Structure formats: C-alpha cells, structure tokens
Chains A and B, each alone.
Chain A
Amino acid sequence: MRILLTGGTGLLGGATARALLDRGDEVTVLQRRPAGLGCREVLADVTDRDAVARAAAGQDAVLHLAAKVGIQGTWREFAAANIGGTQAVVRGCRAGGVGRLVHVSSPSVAHAGDPLVGAGAQPADPEGARGDYSRSKAVAEQVALAADAPDLAVLAVRPHLVWGAGDRQLVAKIVDRARRGRLPLVGTGAALIDSTYLDNAVDALVAAVDVCGAAHGEALVVSNGEPRPVGELLQRICQAHGVPGPRGRVPLPVAVAAGAVAEQVFRRLRPASDPPMSRFLAEQLGTAHWFDQRRTREVLRWVPRIPLEQGFAALAAHAAGAGT
C-alpha cells in the first residue's frame, strides 16, 4: 500500500513509519526536519497546502500524526498547526484521490475535566476541552470526521498516554523530575489511569489504516486496557530507571490552581520552556482516565500485544542499556 505519514519525527510517527516499512508498504513521510527513516521524505510544514497536496497525490492512504503538542505557545500557533494542518491534509486527500485518512487524535478532545471511568469515545468537544492543545485537536478531529465521504473514508484514532522505551517526552520528563525529587503525587495518587505502550499504539494505527474504509466516520480511543493508579504507574516507570518514586502530595484543587498560575507565569517569563505544572496536567494526573475498549477492539480487530508488565521490563532493559 502507498501511504503518506505526516509527523515522522515524533515517537509514535517514527515507530509507525518503521512498522509500515517493515511489512512492505511504500511509505512517504512528511515533516519539517529529516526523520532518518530510510524512506521517501518530504520536508515541509504540514500547514503548507501545496506541499501536502503534492505529497498526498496518488497515495492509497494518509496517516496524519503531525501536530503541535505540549503547552507552550499561543492559541494561534496551536490552531495553525493542528487545525490548519488537518485542513491541509483533508484538502490534499480530496485533491489527490486518496481513499483513506486515519487522523490521529487524543482522548483529551472529549474531556472536560471530570473523571473518565470506563468511558466510551464521546464526540470531540472544543468548548469543553481543556487547554489550547486539546481545544485545537478537538476542532481538528471535527474537521477530519466532517470530511468522511463515500470517496474518502476517515477514521479518528485517539491513543491515550503513549509511552515506551526511548521516549524523550513523557518518560524522560517523569524520570528527570523524580531524580530531582520534584515528582509529587496529585491528590492521593490513586486516580485510575490507562495508558498505551508504544508498540500497541503502533499496531493500532497500522490496523486503522487497514480497516479504514470498511470502518469510517467515527473516533476510537486506543489504550492498553490496563488502568493503574497513577501513583503506581509513576512508581513503576521510576523503578525501571532505578530512581526513587514520587514523593509528597499536592491536593488536586491546589495543583489545578497552581497549574493555572504557572501557565501564565511561564508564558510571560520563560516562553520557551514548559511550566512544572499546568491545569491540564493536574487534571490528567489527578482524575481517573480509563476507557471502554470494546468498540475499538471490535472495529480495529486489534488487541494490545505488549501488556503493561512487559512494557515496564522493556523500559528497564532500555534504561540499563543506555547506562542511565
């Protein structure tokens, strides 16, 4: 299959591109910097409509991962990258006669701050979503799903909290904080959180490319289906790296308030770095997030291959190999 993948430099994008190449797909990746994946690369901004249209022309499927993540930046920047980028991808698909679009989204597009307890995939809700990232991704998912049509099948996939060996984002930040003794638990640390081991998220995206067409027009949350108390998750990640687990506790309301303040302060004083806490992060770490995976597994005909325990072991092996 000929596939265009946007966002090949990210953890999940790179790993998914490799998986598609390994099984013999003809893969083109599009992003601003070289990804070094040994396949055809288009170096362009995903908001560059002409570049995206040229790259999409003649593809069987587009897998759209490119996005602006994190909490730095202005709403305009998030909107341009995430909404504008998705609009460019949708136009490119239409113009280039692409039959399938798998749009990678996030469970936070439908999360208004309440605990998610065995929740299904609710519709994206830009008004309820917390933070510029989630809000822009919510609009982006609406843009993508609105494009679902007989000649363009669109599926939205929302992997939840992807982590794995070699992760410089989530895992590295947790370990770094823990090492400096700056990883407190939010609330009691008992909020039940589901997550997705990297390889499982990759499998799910590959499966989504394959079923897209027969299945279309809906959003699916992807996770390991193994929720754990957030304190235990953090503890296990730290343990795999040989650093002490979370220390101290911050009540959820305090964390949310502190996060809101920190966001403002960092936006003005240190616009290039993430604040230690944000409202979004406080709610993510302080309230339950786990999902009803039945529909996802039925539609994607996919099950997580790597259980959590095996993921922790891989993390430890990688950390030991990297000499951490």
Chain B
Amino acid sequence: MIRRRGGAPVTPAGPRAAAVPPAGVPGLDPRWSRLVTVQDADGVDRAFHVLDSAVGPDGAAVDAAAPRAATTGGTLLCVHGNPTWSYLWRRLVAAAPPGWRVVAPDQLGMGFSERPGQPRDLARRIDDLGRLTDALGITGPVVTVGHDWGGVVSLGWAVRHPDQLVSVVLCNTAVHQPETSPGPVLIRLAHRRWVNELTCRRTPLFVRAATSVNVPRPPKDIRDAYAEPYRAATRRAAVSDFVADIPFAAGHPSRPAVDAVAEGIRHLDVPALLLWGPRDPVFLEEHLADLRARLPHARLHRFERAGHLLPEDAPGYVTAVTRWVAELDVPGTPGPSGAAPEVADGAAAEMPDGGAAGTADTAPATRTADIAVATDAAPSTAADAAADPATGRPSLLDAVRARAGDDTAAVVEIGRGTVSWRELHRRIRDAAAVLRRAGVGPGRRVALLVPPSVDLVVAVYAVWWVGGSVVLADRGLGLAGIRRALRSTAADHVLGGRTALVAARALGLPGRRIHVEDLSGATSATGDGAPDREVDDPDLEAAVLFTSGATGPAKGVRYRHRQLRAQLELVRRVFDVRPGDAMVAAFAPFALYGPALGVPSAVPRIDVTAPATLTAPLLAEAVRAVDATTVFAAPAALRTVLATADGLTAAERVALAGVRVLTSAGAPVPAVLLRRLQALLPDATLHTPYGMTEALPVADIDLAGIEAAGPGDGVCVGRPVPGVRVQVSPLGPDGRPTAGLTDRPGVVGELCVQAEHVRDGYDALWLADRDGWAAPGWHRTGDVGVLDADGRIWVQGRTAHVIATETGPVTPVGIEQRITGAVSGAGGPADVAVVGVGPAGVQQVVAVVAGGRRGAGPLPDPDLVAAVRAAAGRPLAAVLRRPALPVDIRHQSKIDRVAVASWAGRVLAGG
C-alpha cells in the first residue's frame, strides 16, 4: 500500500496539474522526481514529471534547466508506453551506467505529468519529447530506450535528432502492422468507442489489466504502483486517447506520423538493440520480425520468460543496457576500451582470421546481422585463401560429391535399408532443388522436425547445398522447449513429416512448411532447378543447435560453415578416421557426420535419442553390417553393452575385435568401465573426449591416459586436442570467475576454450553471447577446473556449483570423489553431492549422501558421519542423507547440485 505523505493530496494543484509521486512507491527514490515546465507547440506551458538519475551533490534534484556537469557523458532517454509511466524504468534509473544520465519522463496526460485536457496525437507527443529534452539541457549523445507505444515516440525523437543519436534500444514495441496480421486483437477491440470508453477511461480495467494479466504477473504492491497515477477517471483520459491514437486504418490521422517513423528508422545507421519478451499477447513474433527487417543490423536479446512488460518482467534488461552502452564509443563514458576484458599473452595475436566471427559479436558498432550473410565474405582471392584455413578445408559436401558415382553403402540403417553413395548424392541434390524452389538459400533458416534417419541426413545436407542453415532442437527439450527454441530462431521454413507439420502449425511456429516427402519422388524426375554445385562460402551460417541445458531455457548455438569444417577436420584427426574406415554411429551428432567424413556409417537398430537401449548384440550387428573400424557411442550405451555382453556369439565377438577406435562422448567414463570394454574390444583405442555443444571436441583422453593420470582433484579429461587452447579464468573470493585468463597450472577457475570450431555465437541472446566470451575468441564453458603441470585438464564441477567459503572458493567434484571412494559399499558407488549453504563469501560446505530408508530423517548415523568427514579432505559443516539425489533432466546421471543445495539449505535452516 502506498502511503501518502502526511495525508496530503497527491495533486495539490488540482486534478490536472503535474505532481510528484506519493511517498512509499516501492523501488522509487523521491530524489529522482522533478517537475519540468515546457512550452508546447501552441505556446502553452505544460508540466512534465520526470525521473532523472542526475541528482545534485546534496541529494536534491538540481535546477531543471541547468545543464549538469556531473554527468556529461551520455543520456539514456527512456519513454514508457500505455498505460504505464516512468515507474517502468525505475531499475535503470537506480543503476544508471557509469557516465550515463537516465532520464525517464511521464508523457503528457500520463503518469504524474500534467493532464492537458485534449488528446495528444503521435506527432504532438514526438514534438513534446523534443521540447522536453531541450528544456532539460540534453545536448550530448543520446541513446533512446522505448517500450510499447513509447517505442514509436522514442524512435520519432531518434529520427529527428540524428546529430545526438548514438543508439536505439527497443523493448516489445512495433512501428508497423504487418500485412499478414490483423493487428493486436486486444487493441483492435479497444478501438471500438464504447469498449474504449468503458475499459480505458470510466473504469480502470485497462490500467489494472496491463499488469494483472501480464505474464509473469508482478506482485500486488508493484501492480498498485503502476495504477497509482490513474486512480480517477479524470486522470485516465490520456490512456483512452492513446489507445484511440493507434492507427490501424489507412485514413487514421496519426497514420502519416507512424509511417514516417517506420520508414525513417530504415535510415538509422546507429547500433540498435532489441530486448524482447515473447510472452506478449500484443506485440507478436511478426512485429519483432518487422522491426528486424527495418533495422537489419539490430542485435536481439530474447528474455524467454518475459512478457509484454519487459522492463518489469526481466530485471536483467538493466544489465543488457549497461553492457550495451559500455560498448558504444561515447566521450565521457568508460567506452568500449574500458569494457574490453583482459586477454592472456598472445591470445589475441594468435586469433585465426576467422575468429573475428566471435569478436564481432561483442561490439555493437561493428555488428553484422544474425542471419544475414557476412558482408565481408567477398569472393576470396588467392592470398585470402592462403591466410584463411577455412577456405582450404573441404566443405561439408565435398565427400558426398566425390563419391557421387560410388554404388557401395553410404548409410546403413539396420532393419530399415541401405543407401549408396550414388543414391545419397542424388537424393541430396534432388532435395536441394526442391528447397531452392521453395525459397531456401543463403541466410535462410530451415527448422528440421525430422527424427534421426537417412531423411534427416538428406535434409541437412540439402539445406547446406543451397546455402541455408539448419535449426535442430534436441527432443529432450520437450514440446514447450522445442516451440520456444524454434520460435526464437524465426526460421523461414519448417521441414518435417505430416505429424510434425501439424504440430508446427498448432504450436504457432513461424516459417513456410515443407513436407519431408516432397524432397524426393516425382519432383526429381523433372530435374529442373537442381543446382550443379552447392553454395560454398565458409562464412554462411550453417546451423543453430539447441541442446537441453541443466537449467533455464536452451540456448541456440550458432555455427558458420567455417566452424563446422574445422570441427570435421578435428574429428577426422583426433579419432583417426582414415579412408577405408567405416563407422557405427550410435550417438546422434555423429550419425550426421558419416557422409561428411566420407566413410560409410551404420545406425544400429535403436532409437539414437535413447542411447541406453544399445545392447552388445545390436552393436555387433551394426559393426558387421559395414565392417566398422570406428564406433561412436554414448556413455549410457556402454553400460548396456557391457551388461549384455554375455549374449554375444563367437562371430559377433570376432566382429567387435575388428574395431580400432571407440569414442564415447557426452560424459566422463570411469576407468573401471573402460577396462571391461577393453576386454570386449581388445584392439580398440578407447577415447573419451571432453566438449560441449559450443565446442566439440575440446580435449581427449584414452584408457591409458586415465590410468597414467591417476586419482586427482576432479575428473581428468585429458589434454586439449590439436589446435585447441584451454585456459582458466580464475575464481574470485565470491566464487565467480574474474576477468583475465591464465594457463598457469594449479589455478582453479572457469575453463575457457579457444579454437576454430568454437561456436559463432548464441542466437537471439545478445547478452548471453556477450557474457559467454571470457576474451575475444575464448568461449566460457561454464565448467570449473584446473590445469596440471602436464597440461591435463581436471574438471571439478560447474561454475554454478562453486562454494564461496570464507577461506576461498571450493569446488565439489574432488571432495565427492574422495567421499564416494570411502563410503561406497556392495551396492556400487554411493551418490554424493557436495554443496554450499549460506551467503556467498561465508558459505559452509555440506556433503549429502544418497541412501537410507524414507522417513529416516536427514542426519545419518554417527559412524557414517565420521567416515565422510574423514574422507572429505576438508572441513564439512554437515553430513546429510536423503533416499535419492535429484538428477538433472538431460543427463539423468548428473546430480543436480543446485537442487541439492536448495534442499540442504532448507533442512539446515531448521524448523
């Protein structure tokens, strides 16, 4: 409840006058509020209420008209929409970026500004804003920030002040109603005069609904604060007028003004940032697409959980804006040089030419568009080709083209059929022709809703053939996750079977739908439109991949062809793939790579998205089908293979003995498991590479290497593979990684990777992308670990699992390993999680052991407590027990330490 100062009326000078907000509005500092009188175009004095971060030295707002020397850098001009007020921007005012003044006016007739008594149309509002900035003495560089219809007003100011404008930031707004859309239904409805009168002015329905039906719904006190200036019907006239001023019809009086803005921004050459909440019933994906078409250079960050009231729903927008302005070159602010992270010696100098793809993402001033073809990808000269490793590397389609006349098997799907190289080439070519006719080409994205199969292989390579980019989402994301992921990429096409396409329609996925069966068959007979050669440009975007993360919405990881080519070469080299080899692809990503590697691949009779179903006989069957020398399998599959090895026939054992390389990617494999596998595959080198969606592989270790490394503090994942550099970003006292990178052995920190195959960027997540680089070209893995004196990497957990104790950061994995070693019994290794409780900096270390009967209480018996404490190797505040530990959704085997920590925190708080 908002308290009124001494019971005084909010509007001492009458219901139409401007006023300052009452005391007690949550999050609002009364010192920010000031009233500024401006003469409007008719020569009438109008009083604005303005929130202004520039307060005088004594804490009081200084004289309105006086220019402020204290903050000469730049100004963030924040414009709210309808029916909110400057309150929307309070978090940004509170955390004004260094060197920046944040000015957030209430538009006339709105918030606590004067009620002019007349409707103010768009042109008038834009004019008002210009007069206000003049009155405020804002003469230096300006970044406009707009939300909802305030976005249009802010852009109107931007178009008229090109000399001052340095950037525009937009949150959930629109400047044009796309032809394909009937317009926001709610707003259209509110255009009917009686509806408008009833909902917007006579009752506070619209004012209240703006916050109460928003997803997510703000707390009650915040909703009250938004409604505070609109308590009386007389104070809501502008809310009603504003709705009526939105021009849908061509003849609407404000239509020319909107159209002028919509066209005007096409000529804005300043960096633009779009911050978007997708859970918005008013401004939809098509409005975002329209904005991106008008501002093709704009960077985008989607806050997946936010709705229409983005600045309210996503407090992280303040961080995004702060980072954004820090990278603008504005005198009097820290600027881009100040924001640049430290780079380890020589790191920048050793960046390959193509590494610029990573650095470009960090500098808004030099950005290229997400999807658009990089403008610097001009035809290569011979000199360029020599300097650029990507140009010299085989393309992803070279191997398929080279074997276009080969009738031997390329892909064998056990139980489903065999496709020869000749047939594979033809099918890809035919599909490419279909895709090209459908409009797929360079810069176009195709979402693939096709289960792992030859059809998927054909689709992927056909999209690449015509220069398009594939969007693939892990089924582990679930329907909601896939929908969110695919919408965020704004795919131009969706390709799938009938069911998938029906689902795509039901889910409201964007893009033209293409049926997978249409890629082959009759169309190929005509032969028309089949391109002879694939589009071959290493800077084209090749893929956006979504894999399910442990927490939060999945990130779309963007690759260009140059990164995939580098990855292909690395896979070939590290896993020793030679001509004449053949592979079993029992692990989804590698099932796609056989054709690019130019080796035949066999897919076992399993669902490759359920790897644990691979038994020893099924593996042997696949090995025999192509005389495989190489096996790619998931760790979960290896356990099943071992458990079912007794069922192998002599012939199957002989076939397995012919395997030369076995690679198990996805999670570390214990040495004891590898030793038993070695007995089954006596001639095979057993690789367990380390990597992630953003960079795979990073490092590699085989059984001999694991045995040589011995036990240590964490899981040894081997040495970096050729061409990959790994350094650590040391942890600070708060347990968070600091700036700077080091390769000094023994320093615990976040593992960072630099390599040619590291991701190009995160899609539609400007802030995550910006934060995801430790230094230009250095990808933050989110894993913590340490390098040893022999250059080996030891992984000790995730950055989110670091425990910030009084004596410094503590990582969990080494302690867990020691405890597991000490307390495991006949039932196999005990599940143990080591987590922190309490505030960062004084956290206590707690071990949680799985076991005991349900209802037994969280304290184990004293003997177990003593054994765990003795084994841990460092003091523990508590040893707790629960019947089972939660595991994360994706891996099913990785303990969800965040969930364990939250449980332990509750238990140890008592009660």
Contacts and interface: CB of A to CB of B under 8 A. Distances in A.
Given A249-B857, A292-B842, A293-B842, A228 B877 contact: yes
A249 B813 CA distance: 34
A118 B843 contact: yes
A190 B846 CA distance: 12
A222 to B, nearest CB: 15
A14 B837 CA distance: 36
A184 to B, nearest CB: 13
Interface residues of A, number: 30
A187 interface: yes
A287 interface: yes
Among B839, B844, B865, the most chain A Cβ lie within 10 Å of the Cβ of: B844
A232 B847 CA distance: 14
A6 to B, nearest CB: 32
A174 to B, nearest CB: 16
Interface string B818-850: 000000000000000000011101111000000
B911 A286 contact: yes
Nearest to A192: B908
A189 B858 CA distance: 8
A54 to B, nearest CB: 44
A188 interface: yes
Nearest to A289: B910
Contact of A187 (B838, B839, B841, B910): B910
A245 interface: yes
A142 B203 CA distance: 53
Given A228-B878, A229-B878, A189 B859 contact: yes
Interface string B741-766: 00000000000000000000000000
B907 interface: yes
Contacts of A190: 857-859, 878, 880, 907-908, 910
Interface string B866-898: 000000000101101000000000000000000
Nearest to B844: A227
Nearest to B875: A226
A170 B28 CA distance: 49
Interface in A236-290: 239, 245, 249, 252, 286-288, 290
Interface string B374-394: 000000000000000000000
A225 B862 CA distance: 21
A225 B838 CA distance: 13
B909 interface: yes
Contact of A117 (B838, B857, B865, B875): B838
B910 A191 contact: yes
Nearest to A292: B842
Interface in A114-134: 115, 117-118
A288 B844 CA distance: 13
B837 A231 contact: no
A263 to B, nearest CB: 20
A192 B911 contact: no
A196 interface: no
A294 interface: yes
Contacts of A232: 859, 862, 865, 878
Contacts of A286: 910-911
Interface string A181-209: 00000111111100000000000000000
Given A189-B859, A226-B877, A252 B910 contact: yes
B806 interface: yes
A186 B838 CA distance: 21
A87 interface: no
B295 to A, nearest CB: 47
Contacts of B875: 226
Contacts of A287: 909-911
B861 to A, nearest CB: 10
A188 B903 CA distance: 14
Nearest to A229: B878
Nearest to B858: A190
Contact of A191 (B841, B862, B908): B908
A252 B911 CA distance: 6
A227 B845 CA distance: 10
Contacts of A191: 908-911
Interface in B290-340: none
B806 A188 contact: no
B858 A115 contact: no
A231 B839 CA distance: 23
A117 B857 CA distance: 21
B434 to A, nearest CB: 62
Contacts of A249: 857
A225 B842 CA distance: 10
A235 interface: yes
A115 B844 contact: no
Nearest to A307: B875
B393 to A, nearest CB: 53
Nearest to A119: B839
A287 B837 CA distance: 14
A293 B839 CA distance: 12
Contacts of B841: 292, 294
B824 to A, nearest CB: 22
A115 B838 CA distance: 11
B858 A188 contact: yes
A168 to B, nearest CB: 26
Contacts of A239: 862
A292 B839 contact: yes
A117 B841 CA distance: 12
B211 to A, nearest CB: 31
B367 to A, nearest CB: 43
A299 to B, nearest CB: 15
Given A286-B910, A288-B910, A189 B857 contact: yes
A235 B858 CA distance: 15
Contacts of B909: 115, 117, 191-192, 287-288
Contacts of A227: 844, 877-878
Interface string A11-23: 0000000000000
B908 A229 contact: yes
A245 B909 CA distance: 21
Contacts of B908: 117, 190-192, 229, 288
Contacts of B877: 192, 226-228, 290
Contacts of A245: 862
A228 B909 CA distance: 11
Nearest to A284: B910
A312 B905 CA distance: 26
Given A189-B857, A192-B877, A227-B877, A293 B910 contact: no
Q: Which 7 A-B pairs have the closest CB atoms?
A: A191-B910, A118-B838, A287-B910, A115-B909, A192-B908, A118-B839, A118-B842
28 contacts: A115-B910, A117-B838, A117-B839, A117-B909, A188-B858, A188-B859, A189-B857, A190-B858, A190-B859, A191-B908, A191-B909, A192-B909, A192-B910, A226-B875, A226-B877, A227-B844, A227-B878, A228-B877, A229-B859, A229-B880, A230-B910, A232-B878, A249-B857, A286-B911, A288-B909, A293-B806, A294-B806, A294-B842
Given A117-B908, A292-B842, 10 more contacts: A117-B837, A118-B843, A188-B910, A190-B857, A229-B880, A288-B909, A288-B910, A290-B844, A292-B841, A294-B806
